[in-house]
Amino acid sequence: MGHIIGIDLGTTYSCVAYLEGNEPRIIPNLDGLSTTPSVVSFTTSGERLIGNLAMRQAITNPENTIIAIKRLMGKKFNSEEVNDTKNRILYRLAESPNGDAVVELDSRLISPQEISAMILKYLKECAESYLGDKVTETVITVPAHFDDHQRQATKDAAKIVGLEVIRVINEPTSASLTYGFNTKKNATIAVFDIGGGTFDITLMEINDGIFQVLATNGNTYLGGEDFDNRILDWLIDEFKKENNIDLSQDKLALQRIKEAAEKAKRELSFTLESEIHLPFICSEKSGSKHIRKNLTRKKLEELTRDLVDKALPFIEQALNDSKLGCENIDEVILVGGQTRMPLIRKTITEFFGKEPLEHINPDEIVAMGAAIQSGILKGKMKDLILLLDVTPLSLGIDTENDIFIRIIEKNTTIPCKKSRSFTTVEHNQRRVKVKVLQGESEKSSENKPLAVFDLVGIESASAGVPQIDVTFEIDSDGLAKVSAKDVYTGKEQKIEVRPSFGLTQEEINKIIKRT
Ligand code: AMP
């Protein structure tokens, strides 16, 4: 049997860990670094580059360099988030026949799952080279607030490269495993996780090896990329004011500015001022133009303060849901590279009234937790740790007049199963359509449709007489399954909640052949 690895497949960087004995260890990539840019690039000579190599040539080949693909996983092309992303990225997006957002490269459509699979393949190769053995299984992490579509898409990406996902685990939960494993302390902790693309807050109680998530909340569209974009917009505006030249359509210039913006942002976590110097950013009749701008930490904070503040209501909601106050939180753990920003540290310190823990590496803690989870699942640490996670979103069905009925409330411990009875609304109705949704709105139309299925062959009866029991299950990966049963005929129709989105098995097989 091959090795199991824990993978933190991040929006901007990914990280891999494994268990050596009972100790989690980071696996360096082929360049010897602990994290790998989640970037794939296709060169003009037909070569495919991943990670640092891909990142290095992004400036000269922006249209064929795919960054932040995680933001598109499990997303519909016409969603608000994809619309926003479309205006920000330099590669092209298109709509797949089932409405999903896909990458368009030389008139070929590539799903986000396939791009993610390319990154996973590289990470798997790095692990195999480091461990000197085959890697066949993985525990893979996802943002706690990922919905069913996004979780399934992540699992499919792993399947494409022959990695069996033995568990999908939420990133903050994973981080807390590392913390609990290292400290062996009983505590109520808050994990504040903001990486390249997503934000999560998870409140958890650790008690004699039992890790119980109390509440989780977040936004799968708030991350470091948004901070970079604010600097980028500022630089473009300033350049326009000074030179009367609009760089917003110049892809090469945009890629260079984006990289410089991210670099300056990182620097400003440690310095008060950073110089952004981009010579020959464009040229015109009067000669070449350059960007040379000083960005201060104060200005960066002014440009991004609202992004930081945007996270606070999610924390308040999680506290409300778990009936905790800030005074009940013993430790605050920061996860994700973006938490190095001093404004975030200050805001979180003020919010909770305590300093976050210092000695934890926010880039590695998630992958390490995934490695620990692999040990738990394989029975190595079973007696030491019991992990009780929750579902981040309510699951329910659409009823008459656009009313959403919750069957499983958010923050219910998983795996879980709940049933509810439904009846017909017309006389002699033989068929009942059940529309499964995920979300928190009272209105069905404002929640995310997961699937529609039909219960057929209901006995003829007056309206309101048949009794149909619908059972919802959420498994340990946070994925939903629904079944329905006509109580009188005993007829059952089981479904998997994934027909209206994502890849079919046939599509996955096709991708496996060409990957
Ligand atoms: P992660 O997904 O955890 O690797 O986080 C990646 C995000 O963290 C990217 O948006 C990075 O720009 C950001 N990041 C990394 N280091 C720093 C830093 N020193 N200051 C601010 N942001 C950072």
pLDDT (tens digit per residue) in 133-160: 999 999 999 999 999 999 999 999 999 9
Distance, CA 339 to ligand 1 centroid (Å)? 7
Q: Is residue 515 part of a domain?
A: no
**323 pLDDT more than 80:** yes
Take atom 10 of ligand 1 and give the residue whose Cα is closest: 224
* Residue-level pLDDT at 493: 62
The reply to whether 161 and 261 lie within a common domain is: no
Q: Is 37 in the pocket of ligand 1 (CB under 6 A)?
A: no
The reply to whether 384 and 400 lie within a common domain is: no
- Enter the DSSP assignment of 446: G
* Residue-level pLDDT at 232: 97
The reply to whether 334 and 293 lie within a common domain is: no
Catalytic, 8? Answer yes
Instruction: Tally DSSP H helices, then E strands, for the chain.
Output: 12, 27
Take atom 2 of ligand 1 and give the residue whose Cα is closest: 195
Q: Is residue 64 part of a domain?
A: yes
Residues in Cβ contact with 113 at an 8 Å cutoff, skipping those fewer than 6 apart: 73, 153, 156, 157, 160, 502, 503, 511
SS (H, E, C) 221-279: CCCHHHHHHHHHHHHHHHHHHHHCCCCCCCHHHHHHHHHHHHHHHHHCCCCCEEEEEEE
The reply to whether 254 and 297 lie within a common domain is: yes
**190 pLDDT more than 70:** yes
Average the pLDDT over 189-210 and give the result: 94
Q: Is 338 in the pocket of ligand 1 (CB under 6 A)?
A: yes
pLDDT tens column, 6-64:
999 999 999 999 999 889 999 999 999 999 999 999 998 889 999 999 999 888 899 99
Q: Is residue 512 part of a domain?
A: no
Q: Is 448 in the pocket of ligand 1 (CB under 6 A)?
A: no
The reply to whether 323 and 445 lie within a common domain is: no
Q: Is 336 in the pocket of ligand 1 (CB under 6 A)?
A: yes
**486 pLDDT more than 90:** no
Catalytic, 193? Answer yes
Q: Is residue 507 part of a domain?
A: no
Q: What are phi and psi of 430, to 5 degrees?
A: -100, -10
Q: Is residue 506 part of a domain?
A: no
Predicted confidence band of residue 245 (pLDDT cuts 50, 70, 90) = very high
Inter-residue contact 463 to 417 (CB < 8 Å): no
Burial of 273 (0-12, 13-18, 19+ CB in 10 A): middle
State the catalytic residue, choosing from 147, 148, 156, 171: 171
Average the pLDDT over 343-350 and give the result: 98
CATH number, domain of 478, equals 2.60.34.10
Q: What are phi and psi of 58, to 5 degrees?
A: -60, -35
Atom of ligand 1 nearest to the CA of 223: 10
Among the three residues 305, 334, 353, which one is the final residue of a domain in this structure? 305
Average the pLDDT over 336-351 and give the result: 97
Inter-residue contact 202 to 173 (CB < 8 Å): yes
The residue among 308, 299, 243 whose CA lies nearest residue 274 is 299
Q: Is residue 84 part of a domain?
A: yes
Atom of ligand 1 nearest to the CA of 270: 19
DSSP states of 298-341 as a string? Answer: HHHHHHHHHHHHHTHHHHHHHHHHHT--GGG--EEEEESGGGGS
DSSP states of 398-440 as a string? Answer: EEGGGEEEEEE-TT-BSSEEEEEEE--SSTT---EEEEEEESS
- Mean pLDDT (the chain) is 92
Catalytic, 31? Answer no
Distance, CA 225 to ligand 1 centroid (Å)? 9
Atom of ligand 1 nearest to the CA of 224: 10
Q: Is residue 492 part of a domain?
A: yes
Any alpha helices (H) in 339-392, and if so which ranges? 342-352, 365-377
Distance, CA 364 to ligand 1 centroid (Å)? 12
The reply to whether 57 and 152 lie within a common domain is: yes
Distance, CA 483 to ligand 1 centroid (Å)? 42
State the catalytic residue, choosing from 70, 155, 265, 293: 70
Number of domains in the chain: 3
Inter-residue contact 326 to 351 (CB < 8 Å): yes
The reply to whether omega before 415 is within 30° of 0 (cis) is yes
For the record, the structure tokens of 399 come out as 């009823």
Residues in Cβ contact with 45 at an 8 Å cutoff, skipping those fewer than 6 apart: none
Take atom 18 of ligand 1 and give the residue whose Cα is closest: 266
The reply to whether 300 and 335 lie within a common domain is: no
Take atom 9 of ligand 1 and give the residue whose Cα is closest: 196
Among the three residues 305, 340, 366, which one is the final residue of a domain in this structure? 305
Residues spanned by the domain of 239 = 224-305
Q: Is 341 in the pocket of ligand 1 (CB under 6 A)?
A: yes
Q: Cβ of 287: how many Cβ atoms within 10 Å?
A: 8
Q: Is 340 in the pocket of ligand 1 (CB under 6 A)?
A: yes
Q: Is residue 369 part of a domain?
A: yes
The reply to whether 430 and 367 lie within a common domain is: no
Predicted confidence band of residue 453 (pLDDT cuts 50, 70, 90) = confident
Atom of ligand 1 nearest to the CA of 15: 4
Take atom 1 of ligand 1 and give the residue whose Cα is closest: 195
pLDDT tens column, 249-291:
998 899 999 999 999 999 999 999 999 999 999 988 888 999 9
The residue among 35, 40, 2, 20 whose CA lies nearest residue 162 is 2
Distance, CA 229 to ligand 1 centroid (Å)? 13
Average the pLDDT over 371-376 and give the result: 94
The reply to whether 206 and 337 lie within a common domain is: yes
Task: Tell if the pTM clears 0.85, that is, is over it.
Answer: yes
pLDDT tens column, 379-426:
887 666 889 999 999 999 998 789 999 999 999 999 999 998 888 889
Distance, CA 278 to ligand 1 centroid (Å)? 21
Among the three residues 262, 287, 305, which one is the final residue of a domain in this structure? 305
The reply to whether 13 and 147 lie within a common domain is: yes
Q: Is 13 in the pocket of ligand 1 (CB under 6 A)?
A: yes
Take atom 15 of ligand 1 and give the residue whose Cα is closest: 337
Distance, CA 227 to ligand 1 centroid (Å)? 10
Distance, CA 337 to ligand 1 centroid (Å)? 3
Burial of 147 (0-12, 13-18, 19+ CB in 10 A): buried
DSSP states of 19-74 as a string? Answer: EETTEEEEPP-TTS-SEEE--EEE-TTS-EEETHHHHHTTTT-GGGEE--GGGGTT
CATH number, domain of 168, equals 3.30.420.40
The reply to whether 442 and 490 lie within a common domain is: yes
State the catalytic residue, choosing from 8, 147, 148, 477: 8
* Residue-level pLDDT at 383: 66
The reply to whether 126 and 184 lie within a common domain is: yes
Take atom 4 of ligand 1 and give the residue whose Cα is closest: 13
Average the pLDDT over 177-187 and give the result: 89
Take atom 8 of ligand 1 and give the residue whose Cα is closest: 337
* Residue-level pLDDT at 179: 92
Q: Is 478 in the pocket of ligand 1 (CB under 6 A)?
A: no
Q: Is 363 in the pocket of ligand 1 (CB under 6 A)?
A: yes
Take atom 3 of ligand 1 and give the residue whose Cα is closest: 336
Inter-residue contact 257 to 232 (CB < 8 Å): yes
**What residues form DSSP beta bridges with 338?**
none
CATH number, domain of 262, equals 3.90.640.10
Distance, CA 336 to ligand 1 centroid (Å)? 7
